[in-house]
Amino acid sequence: MFRLFLIMYSLAGTALAGAAIVAVLTMNMFDMKSVIAAAIVGALAGIPAAWIIAKKIAET
C-alpha cells in the first residue's frame, strides 16, 4: 500500500503543484514567494489525495 501511495503521490503531487503555480501566475503574482508558496501548498494537497487514490485502488 505504501509503495502504491508513493507512486500516486509522484503523480498527484506534481499535478496539484503545477496547477497551483498556473493559478498563481494567472492571477499576475509573478514574485518568487507566491510561486514557491503555491508549489508547497499543491504538493501538500497531493498527500491526502494520493492516500485516498491509493486506498481506493488497493480495495479493488
The DSSP annotation for the chain comes to: -HHHHHHHHHHHHHHHHHHHHHHHHHTT--SHHHHHHHHHHHHHHHHHHHHHHHHHHHH-
The tens digit of pLDDT for each residue in 1-60 reads: 999 999 999 999 999 999 999 999 999 999 999 999 999 999 999 999 999 999 999 998
pLDDT of 56: 96
The pTM (predicted TM-score) of the whole model is 0.90
> Could you tell me if 16 and 42 are in contact, meaning their C-beta atoms sit under 8 angstroms apart?
yes
Domain ranges in the chain are 14-59
